[in-house]
Amino acid sequence: MGESVSRDRASDLASQLAVDVNAELLELALTHRSFAYENGGAGHNERLEFLGDSILGQAVTVMLYRENPTLDEGELAKRRASLVSSVALAEVARAIGLGRYIRLGRGEELTGGRDKSSILADTVEAVIGATYLSAGPEEATALVMRLIAPLMLDPDRFGVSMDPKTSLQELSARLGRGIPRYTVTNSGPDHSKRFLAAVALGDEAPIATGEGTSKKYAEMAAARDAWATLSSL
């Protein structure tokens, strides 16, 4: 992809999101490490993702605290986990068509990288980080609120999604499939580790995987996907 084309796409995305973001910074937010590695070690979006993750978490935490004065800490934490998970962010990304703007390496392109939940979720966080650096904290927070608004309208968002591991265990027991077992690995530098969880039922092979910024979030993401798979059988 030529530089002018990628800048144009970044500009189109900025218009769609109604944010005033520096074009070069937004282009960086849309650049996956696979593209960088295949193009002479160009910059990629992982540092912006790290920043955006913190901004997203803070914005959602403050919103939930203010809008739910009767909920205790445990319930607030469950709702936050539901809204900032990789599964939720990938849902946000698909809703805005983010995949078509991402700069990917050839390998990721050929293996469906534009619709991989982990890549989509990471790119959402990177875009939030770029917005913070370009337009400041208020605009970044406003962007977060616009992005998660559709999730808040989902009547099932705070059902299974709030405690997916328990929901999966209960469903698996009803179906006689055994107790869920989780295997977690991690990668990346200490300041920006990514965790990958695989969940299996009883002695079966894993039926779902999930990614997150912590072991807990990765297991929750895997449990959500496994619950959805079992529910559809």
**Catalytic entry in 27, 46, 53, 219:** 53
CA 47, CA 192: separation in Å to the nearest integer? 8
Does 20 belong to an annotated binding site?
no
Does 138 belong to an annotated binding site?
no
Q: How many CB atoms lie within 10 A of CB 36?
A: 18
Please state the pTM of the whole predicted model: 0.71
125 catalytic per annotation: yes
CA 122, CA 105: separation in Å to the nearest integer? 16
Does 190 belong to an annotated binding site?
no
Beta bridge partners of 194: 187
Residue in this structure with the two tokens 């798979």, named with its chain if needed? 229
Q: How many CB atoms lie within 10 A of CB 84?
A: 23
| The 208-212 sheet, strands edge to edge | 180-187, 194-201, 208-212
**Catalytic entry in 46, 108, 125, 211:** 125
109-135 residue pLDDT tens:
988 889 888 899 999 999 999 999 999
10-34 residue pLDDT tens:
788 988 999 989 999 999 999 999 9
Query: Domains in the chain, ordered, with CATH?
Result: 3-155 (1.10.1520.10), 163-231 (3.30.160.20)
219 catalytic per annotation: no
DSSP 8-class letter at 205: P
